[in-house]
């Protein structure tokens, strides 16, 4: 009787391991590739046949001629294998220093801009990987980008408006701008 139970248990382990560890992942991967291939492969953005980034993961931009992303709490910045927030409380000196440093960098990059700096330009997201900024954060940077790129500010503002994504189904989330896509569109305009 003991051997019969052991044989049944081992057989169940092997069958369930094959089903859940091999068959199910292959079926799900195949379905994802058939139905949503772009998303299943990381939502990669291609330029001249080369991947320049993902639509889902932010990148560091610090050239004043381009739009800047949110801060990243990961080390190195935007490290997808190390997704995390800083978990600093509002009174933590490290958070205060990071915000003050970013605030100073934004003021140095555009000293004539006296507008209030949107909070998402001086703080990181919960994942540390957010590829989006608010439209307010993009518009805050429009004057600097237009001036340094030699473009009319109205054209840069139209570009921001075009790349602003609305709420999902008109209800969920907040309007947002994907920084990588915006900067790539800006590069295309500048090359013309």
Model confidence pLDDT, tens digit, residues 126-146? 777 888 999 999 999 999 999
Residue 76's pLDDT band, with cuts at 50, 70 and 90, is: confident
Q: What is the 3-state secondary structure (H, E, C) of the chain?
A: CHHHHHHHHHHHHHHHHHHHHHHHHHHHHHHHHHHCHHHHCCCEEEECCEEEEECCCCCCCCCCCCCCCCECCCCCCCCHHHCCCCCCCCCCHHHHHHHHHHHHHHHHHCCCCCCCCCHHHCCECCCCCCCEECHHHHHHHHHHHHHHHCCCHHHHHHHHHHHEECCECCCECCCEEEHHHHHHHHHHHHHC
Residues 66 and 134 in one domain: yes
This prediction has a pTM of 0.80
Residues 88 and 28 in one domain: no
The total of structural domains in the chain comes to: 2
- Over residues 104-121, the mean pLDDT reads 91
Residues 54 and 14 in one domain: no
Residues 66 and 156 in one domain: yes
Residues 80 and 157 in one domain: yes
Residues 87 and 12 in one domain: no
Residues 121 and 159 in one domain: yes
- Over residues 58-71, the mean pLDDT reads 88
pLDDT at site 152: 94
Residues 15 and 92 in one domain: no
Predicted confidence (pLDDT) per residue in 9-18, tens digit: 999 999 999 9
Q: Which of 70-74, 78-82, 108-112 has the highest mean pLDDT?
A: 108-112
* Mean pLDDT computed over every residue of the chain: 89
Residues 52 and 145 in one domain: yes
Q: Which domain holds residue 79?
A: 43-191
Residues 72 and 115 in one domain: yes
């Amino acid at each position: 009787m003991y051997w019969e139970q052991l044989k049944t248990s081992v057989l169940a382990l092997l069958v369930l391991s094959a089903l859940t560890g091999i068959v199910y992942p292959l079926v799900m991967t195949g379905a994802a590739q058939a139905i949503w291939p772009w998303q299943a492969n990381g939502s990669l953005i291609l330029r001249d046949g080369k991947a320049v980034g993902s639509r889902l993961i932010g990148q560091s931009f610090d050239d004043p001629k381009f739009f800047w992303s949110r801060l990243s709490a990961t080390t190195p910045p935007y490290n997808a294998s190390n997704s995390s927030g800083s978990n600093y409380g509002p009174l933590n000196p490290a958070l205060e220093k990071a915000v003050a440093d970013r605030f100073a960098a934004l003021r140095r990059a555009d000293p004539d801009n006296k507008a209030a700096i949107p909070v998402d330009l001086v703080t990181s997201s919960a994942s540390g990987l957010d590829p989006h900024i608010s439209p307010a954060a993009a518009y805050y940077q429009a004057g600097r980008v237009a001036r340094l790129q030699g473009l009319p500010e109205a054209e840069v503002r139209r570009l921001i408006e075009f790349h602003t994504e609305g709420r999902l189904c008109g209800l969920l989330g907040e309007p947002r701008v994907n920084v990588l896509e915006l900067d790539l569109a800006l590069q295309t305009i500048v090359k013309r």
